[in-house]
Each structure stands twice: as structure tokens, then as C-alpha cells.
Amino acid sequence: MAADKVAFITGGNKGLGLETARQLGKQGITVVIGSRDPEKGAAAAQKLKIDGIDAEAIRLDVTKPADYKAVYDHFDRKYGRLDILINNAGVSREDFLAGNKTSVTSAEVLHDTFDTNFFAVIQLTQTLLPLIRKSPAGRIVNLSSILGSLTLHADPNSPIYNAKAFAYDASKAALNAFTVHLAHELKDTKIKVNSAHPGWVKTDMGTDAAPMEVIDGAKTGVRLAMLPDDGPTGGYFHMNDPLPW
């Protein structure tokens, strides 16, 4: 029953994360949002509660591994498990409209981007996995991007061929590799692991130039979080459509 499930959404106090929490909460799931700023997290949780959603916020700065243990202890103590993990928190340190700057992308930008978009996701997921294993049907959703598709980046006829933000794109390609490898490790369990491309969405990162509203951008992640037992694992999706790696 959805009403018995608990979900954790990183970077959940605004944008896609908050909308994902809202859509899951509307299905009767208890949602816990992770936020670097406890006050902003509490305010976001209060908005969800006004909508009739069972919600709470906890402090999580994904770049600070010391926070992970506190998150684990919270779920272990209060819920005894974790049913859904949405790895939503992400950053970009590049101008997506500046053209291909691969040859001058600094080590600092690469490290900063990978720390949040890749290494933090892995370490947090590894920390929480024992709790997800206790769920009757655990779901892990990694918020990727179509910009992580090497197949489409290499295709001159693809819509993203000229959209080359090297650090961000590489971090999402690496995240997709994590999805594939973790899904394979867990293939004989009830846990499903998938990558979601939300679309180009009107968020702080996507800007107002994006064609998609946040309410639609959250739909792919929510669908993957609610997959039935016979649903896919180790996949890369936008809405119902698989994307090429």
C-alpha cells in the first residue's frame, strides 16, 4: 500500500525535488525531504502539509558525508526502513549556452560537479541501502539527464549534439553507469534502480527558457519510484520512453 511507504528526496525543498515530493505525497506516501538549509526544508515541508501530505524535512548537505549517518539514524529510528530514494540533488557549474569548452574546463569545476552529481549519490545510496533492503519493494531513482547520453552526444543528428557542458554531461554519464551496475548487483532482489531524465524544466538550473513545467518534469521520477514488481530495472527513461545510453 502506498500509504505504508516512506520516500526520501534529496534537494527536496524546491523545484523538481519539491514537486516530486508533492506528487508522491498525493499518492499517500510519507515524504521526507533533504535540504542543506533546515529552515528552507521546514518551510517546504509545511507547504506540503497544507496540501494534506504527510511530510517532514531533515538536514542533508550531500557534499558532507557526516550528514549521511544522521539521515540513516533518522530513518532507522522512526521508520525502520526506506522504501523510495530519489537522488535528486544536483549542480551545474557551467553555462549551457556558452558552447563546447571541454579543452578549458577546469579541474575545480569537474571535481565540484562530480562531488555532488556522482560521488555523493554513490556514498549516500550505499549508506542507506541496508534500510532500502528492508523494504518489501525498494525503489532507487537517480535523477540523470539526456545530456548523460553518450550515444546522443556522438550523433550529429541528435537534439543534444551541440549541447556540450563537459563536467555536467560527464557526471550524468557516470551516474548512469552507477545505475546500471547497482541494478545488476540487486537484480535478484525486489529493489529496482533506474535513471530518470526529467526533461528540460523551468527550474533554477533549467531557467525560464525551458519548455517544460515543473509539474511535468517530476512525472518520470515519480513513475519510476512507483514501479510495480514487474517493472524495469537498470534503465534510463524519460516519461515512458527508454533513452539510449
Active site residues: 168
Contact 197, 160 (CB under 8 A): no
Contact 113, 60 (CB under 8 A): no
Query: Alpha helices of 85-165 — where are they, by DSSP H?
Result: 107-114, 120-132, 150-153
Contact 123, 112 (CB under 8 A): no
In degrees and rounded to multiples of 5, residue 21 shows phi and psi of -60, -40
Contact 72, 139 (CB under 8 A): no
Beta-carbon contacts of residue 219 (< 8 Å; ≥ 6 apart): 23, 239
